[in-house]
Chain A
């Protein structure tokens, strides 16, 4: 029986609460409120109702007919989280946490964001629930994601640039936590992934498992059986946990895909489980990229959403017990899959999700036609179009032109 985390927030040796004393009481309050909410049928009903009437759930399960034909192997299915309101799975969690904040009487939200997807989701729910929202974003990411910054402002959020470190997601998270320490009496910290101190990894899993719950039901209805392989990309790992969790006790192969950047044998990657070591980051014991003295190393990936030096503690646990296999995909492979899905299926995926696609395509090719692969298409690629255009122009104009 899979039953983690325990009452101390531990997934085996991972997880826990490694935070300054000031945050211990706020964390206990959230934990208590979460347990009550999860046991409360009306809370669950409201969450599901808002996901349906506001975000358009359930999201579709799409058979990728053309890709399946082209690869001539296992049949490929896409769980379409890209069809959510705001364009990614992030909204599932944002709605759940906003409802919890409301239940706790907190009307001010704090969020961190890398590419801006979680920031936009947080700003969106803040608008929907009449709350204030302050989003911390690295100055480097602000430059790279101008449109999402404008979106957040349009939605009424305040975006605070972060100038520390490399000025990306890790630093934005540090600053969000520092701000929370100062304002924990009346603010709710809405973390965007299955990372951070207990109860955040559990809470975000509970608000993302709807991906896997829906997908499992849809898949069985469609295929009359469970998928053979389920694939999802892993940065912090919230879409992957959401997708995997309902399959953990089934006879299904689970594959998490990390960002290999320019290659896992170069310094330029974000493959935390593949290459990292055990340590503490953002309040949680997990695998992370660090030097021998415990200083955290800046990761690299073409995908801002996977560009994180840690990983959710539950993934570290699932890797350690061998239940999920973690592999990695380079920028180049992800870019190829990004274009392939667009051309073959008419779906432009988020560059994060393209990492899962690339791995799934490799797997499908090697499997028989009786087998099936289910992929979590965690978000859409609108946010990436500009960057991909610049990237592909730089590399090979021809490659794009050739395919019309």
Chain B
């Protein structure tokens, strides 16, 4: 069971797309992030129609699908990561349809077997999540809930059932890199924290150390996805070649460290 309640410092929660640019590289990128001070990894499963994602993660998903990445393979990648030394909790981030096709029960069983610590399904709102929440309770794998700036009166209901941590969507829109975050984000986060019994993390659009520095005062964790995935895209060719791989991994790690420097990692 994901136990994050004892945290004292703001968490760094990076996101990677499994299989981008290659499954073996994803494992090494994950280890680099752990070294950079990540507290928890969100491992994204590529999907043909990622409705909640902007262009950067869409492109990464397309690259990963070309590597024939699937939901079962992504889950099995977690066991590989564990063998190679990943200690931090790993959450599987997947759209609902791949879970449905694998079978909801099979998915939870496979996740449990491979050492997954939690599940996040961005297109499964509270009202549709009852069967998944039941499986989550049975297997002890928390289903991470999301709240958005439009959630308003829904926040209390969602927060009261939240497990693991509560994911706050920073602003209207899809994942991506944003220059500015909404001015009222501190009020939004304060309201969510009032109802939540689990740590509150914020994501969507966070891509600079300045943003991280500002947000750390209002939340328990920052999720960084598109900025890191864009870096992977930039480094893809070098990551895929044996002679330049280590150097590219180092560059990736330094970039992650720079982004979260305000968290004191």
Contact = CB atoms under 8 A, between A and B. Distances in A.
A294 interface: yes
Contact of B100 (A24, A26, A164, A294): A294
A17 B123 CA distance: 9
Given A178-B54, A185-B172, A283-B123, A21 B147 contact: yes
Contacts of A16: 128
Q: Number of contact residues on B: which range applies?
A: 35 or more
Q: Number of contact residues on A: which range applies?
A: 35 or more
Contacts of B58: 164
B172 A174 contact: no
Contacts of B65: 295
A8 B52 CA distance: 22
Contact of A295 (B98, B123, B149, B150): B98
Given A164-B58, A184-B150, A18 B122 contact: no
B174 A24 contact: no
B169 interface: yes
Given A21-B169, A25-B154, A294-B102, A174 B148 contact: no
A281 B154 CA distance: 24
A8 B127 contact: yes
Interface in B104-148: 122-128, 146-148
Contacts of A177: 51
A185 B184 CA distance: 15
A296 B101 contact: no
Contacts of B147: 21
Contacts of B154: 21, 24-25
Given A178-B54, A181-B173, A182-B174, A290 B148 contact: no
Contacts of A294: 47, 71, 95, 97-102
B127 A181 contact: no
Contacts of B149: 22
A267 interface: no
Contact of A290 (B97, B152, B174): B97
Contact of B125 (A21, A178, A296): A21
Q: Specify which of A281, A282, A290, A293 lies most central, judged by the most chain B CB atoms within 10 Å of its CB.
A: A293
Contacts of B97: 279-281, 290, 294, 296
Contacts of B96: 18, 280
Given A25-B151, A178-B174, A182-B174, A20 B99 contact: no
B8 interface: no
Nearest to B72: A293
Contact of A22 (B47, B95, B101, B169): B169
- Label chain A's interface by main secondary structure: mixed
A168 B138 CA distance: 41
B12 to A, nearest CB: 23
A177 B122 CA distance: 14
A292 interface: yes
A296 B62 CA distance: 12
B49 interface: yes
Contacts of B146: 20-21
A17 B172 contact: no
Contact of B123 (A8, A20, A178): A20
Contacts of A23: 150
Contacts of B241: none
A19 interface: yes
Interface string A262-295: 0000000000000001111111000000101111
A309 B201 CA distance: 36
Contacts of A170: 49
A244 B158 CA distance: 39
B70 interface: yes
Given A20-B146, A164-B58, A295 B124 contact: no
Interface string B147-180: 1111110100010000000000100111000000
B172 A295 contact: no
A11 B174 CA distance: 29
A165 interface: yes
A103 interface: no
Interface in A322-337: none
A343 interface: no
Interface string B65-79: 100001110000000
B99 A18 contact: no
Nearest to A27: B125
Contact of A25 (B71, B152, B173): B152
A128 interface: no
A183 interface: yes
A238 B175 CA distance: 32
Interface string A54-80: 000000000000000000000000000
Interface in B30-62: 47-49, 51-52, 54-55, 58
Contact of B148 (A18, A20, A279, A281): A20
A211 B54 CA distance: 38
B172 A181 contact: yes
Contacts of A281: 49, 97
Q: Specify which of B122, B127, B147 lies most central, judged by the most chain A CB atoms within 10 Å of its CB.
A: B127
A12 to B, nearest CB: 15
Contacts of A182: 172-174
Contacts of B101: 277, 279, 290, 292-294
10 contacts: A17-B127, A20-B123, A21-B147, A25-B152, A164-B58, A181-B172, A182-B172, A182-B173, A283-B51, A290-B97
Interface of B: 47-49, 51-52, 54-55, 58, 65, 70-72, 95-102, 122-128, 146-152, 154, 158, 169, 172-174
Interface of A: 8, 16-26, 164-165, 170, 174, 177-178, 181-185, 277-283, 290, 292-296
Given A277-B101, A294-B99, A296-B48, 10 more contacts: A20-B122, A20-B146, A21-B158, A178-B51, A181-B174, A280-B96, A282-B49, A293-B70, A294-B97, A294-B100
The 5 A-B pairs at the shortest CB distance, nearest first, are namely: A294-B101, A182-B173, A294-B98, A22-B148, A25-B150
